[in-house]
Amino acid sequence: MIYNPVSPILPREESDRQRSCQKGEESFTNSCSEARTSSTKSRQAERSTVFVRKPAAQKQTGGSLAVWREERESGSPRIEPPGAVSPAKRQIKEVKETKTTINCVTFPLPGEGPEQQLLKPDEWSYCDYFWADKKDPQGATSLPGFEVLLQKQLKGKQMQKEMSEFVHERIKIEEEYAKNLSKLSLSPLAAQEEGTLGEAWTQLKKSLHDEAEVHLKFANKLHTEVEKPLLTFRGDNFKKDLKKYDHHIADLRKQLASRFASVEKARKALADRQKDLDLKTQQLEVKLSNKTEEDIKKARRKSTQAGDDLMRCVDLYNQTQSKWFEEMVTTNMELEKLEVERIEWIQQHLRQYTTLRHETDMFNQSTVEPVDQLLQNVDPSKDRELWVKENKTGDVRPVDMDI
């Protein structure tokens, strides 16, 4: 693991427990997973831990991995303080050259800024691949990356439900088959066959009932051990939970949009103030007057104020974006874990299906064995003896009549 383990993103109350998990880094994810409860109410407690390097901070620390929480806890702003230089002096264009804001989220431009490494390399983790919004084919609207993940969850839930339905249909087929076999088993056909052949035949007919029992047992076990677990895994609460995640992340995106609007407004106000100051400075060059110098001072103050305003707005925007980022990482990790659990649950229960199928074939074999045994014993001589004993009319042979 190449993560810097200094500052995991953790809910405050979880940090102690999580930290103890960090000691054995290799088995870290598993041991932590086990320690967590699966209650959806304690969502915070379920979050996977990930060590997040905040890419923006890399700039500040000359490329070394700086840590978000450190910044946050130290209370230092996450953007460079304007310092003595008036914000108005900074060229907005200059900023736009290295970063771009799409749907209110700010990304580095390709080739600009230090190279980002994946949060969880080689893991194809959800937390690494869904930062941008997804444009729909028409390009008219776009879907947040998080929604793509939520749709995957909903689809997964649907698949699980459909598999359960499939198994249900299989159960119905087995029950119908068993019913028919059982019914045929009771048929009076050739019931009057006698002797050892009659015994073998009776057992053959009975074996259909045994087969029916095997298939009925299969159907019952399919119901309790496959259909039901597949159906009830993640009940009705699951979709509510997904909705909560959805609203939570969507709210943060709305907040980000609102903060972005404030930044834009403040940026425009600063530009206006800057323009006003420039105008007044030009006027000063044309004709010197106290009034103008006073105006310039006032304009500069206002420009500085607008700069401070913008700085504050940008700060708020960045704080919100950080919050969203944090929630995205933890929630994506959560969804990733849910998907692993879903796949393993389904795998486990489909395995149970094949186990039951194998069992059914084995038990089915055993229904034929007594028939084989009795067919082995079929003996025409014995049957003749039995039948003759019961049906003979007389063994005294006729003799010639005397006169």
**At 144, which amino acid appears?**
P
For a second copy, the closer of residues 107 and 281 by Cβ is 107
In the complex, minimum distance from the CB of residue 286 to a second copy, in angstroms, rounded to a whole number: 31
For a second copy, the closer of residues 24 and 121 by Cβ is 121
In the complex, minimum distance from the CB of residue 235 to a second copy, in angstroms, rounded to a whole number: 19
Query: Around 234, how many Cα atoms within 13 Å sit in the side-chain half-sphere?
Result: 22
CA distance 24 to 46: 19
In the complex, minimum distance from the CB of residue 291 to a second copy, in angstroms, rounded to a whole number: 32
In the complex, minimum distance from the CB of residue 281 to a second copy, in angstroms, rounded to a whole number: 21
Scored b (16 or more CB within 10 A) or e, 186-217 reads: eeeeeeeeebbbbbbbebbbebbbbbbbbbbb
In the complex, minimum distance from the CB of residue 384 to a second copy, in angstroms, rounded to a whole number: 5
For a second copy, the closer of residues 287 and 392 by Cβ is 392
**At 105, which helix (H) or strand (E)?**
strand 105-108
Locus of tokens 């995205």? 328
For a second copy, the closer of residues 69 and 90 by Cβ is 90
In the complex, minimum distance from the CB of residue 316 to a second copy, in angstroms, rounded to a whole number: 11
For a second copy, the closer of residues 263 and 299 by Cβ is 263
Tell which residue, 293, 320, 274, 370, has the closest CA to residue 106: 320
Tell which residue, 382, 373, 384, 387, has the closest CA to residue 204: 373
CA distance 124 to 128: 7
Helix, strand or coil, per DSSP, at residue 143 = strand
| Main-chain phi, psi angles of 272, to 5 degrees | -60, -45
Helix axes 28-35, 15-22, angle to 10 degrees: 150
In the complex, minimum distance from the CB of residue 401 to a second copy, in angstroms, rounded to a whole number: 4
Rounded to a whole number of angstroms, the distance between the first and last alpha carbons of the chain is 122
For a second copy, the closer of residues 17 and 209 by Cβ is 209
CA distance 268 to 281: 20
In the complex, minimum distance from the CB of residue 284 to a second copy, in angstroms, rounded to a whole number: 26
For a second copy, the closer of residues 42 and 377 by Cβ is 377
| Main-chain phi, psi angles of 120, to 5 degrees | -130, 80
For a second copy, the closer of residues 150 and 295 by Cβ is 150
